[in-house]
Amino acid sequence: MKVSLLLTLSFFLPLAFSDDVEQVKDINGKPIFPGGTYYIMPAIMGPPGGGVRLGQTGNSECPLTVLQNYAEVDFGLQVKFKIPGISPGIIFTGTQLEIEFAEKPRCAESSKWSVFVDNEIQKACVGIGGPEGHPGQQTFSGTFHIEKHRLGYKLVFCMTGSPTCLDIGRFDANKGEGGRRLNLTEHEPFEVVFVDASNFDGIIKSVV
């Protein structure tokens, strides 16, 4: 699995980045900033579902896997973006980012996003925390990027110490998990928009 995953990531590196760099904005056209709280929502509202949250998968007794809600009215959990190291505090497309949920489950070591390989479904999924939260499963550390995609944006994961990157998509494991998993994909990326949680009034302005 490790070899095939690395080959897939390397193959898709040219697709992960764009030469057209621009400031990332929320659905109201305002720039997003590190430290702010946001909801990650699908760019097209309706049957595609709602925001992202944490859920229990496999034999885990702690919600460590990132899921997209089935219900479009559920905005999920708030996230924060962090730029590693020294930065001007401006998030552009292609900026290296760490993503974490604003609140951490008590049973988790960290709310920081990471990638782990679910041995049962043989897919690299987005979760939180490091190896301690995913015993017996391969984990990958790295950074996330936001790239422009169609009417919204897409999330891209890049592995630490490697030039390999891959888009973040959605996968329905059909295991009663209550949502679709976010996973590294070679197919359709998850097209998203960002909602400023500090100004949230319960109404989303559709981008379509």
Does residue 141 lie in a domain region?
A: yes
3-state SS class at 155: strand
Residue 94 lies in a domain: yes
Q: How many DSSP H helices and E strands does the chain contain?
A: 1, 13
Structural domain includes residue 200: no
Which ranges in the chain belong to alpha helices (H)?
2-11
Q: How far apart are the first and last CA of the chain?
A: 38
Position 201 scores a pLDDT of 53
Is residue 172 domain-resident?
A: yes
41: domain CATH number is 2.80.10.50
pLDDT value at residue 18: 57
Indicate the SS3 state at residue 11: helix
Q: Which residues contact 154 (CB under 8 A, 6 or more apart)?
A: 146, 147, 148, 167, 168, 189, 190, 191, 192
pLDDT given at position 85: 85
Domain presence at residue 68: yes
Tens place of pLDDT per residue across the chain (208 aa): 444 454 444 444 444 455 689 999 999 999 999 999 999 999 987 777 999 999 999 888 999 999 999 999 999 999 999 999 877 789 999 999 999 999 999 999 999 999 999 988 899 999 999 888 888 889 998 999 999 999 999 999 998 888 889 999 999 988 788 899 999 998 899 999 999 999 875 544 433 3
CA atoms of 72 and 54, how far apart (whole Å)? 16
Give the domain range for residue 15: 2-194
Residues 85, 194: Cα–Cα separation, whole Å: 23
Whole-structure pTM value: 0.87
Domain count of the chain? 1
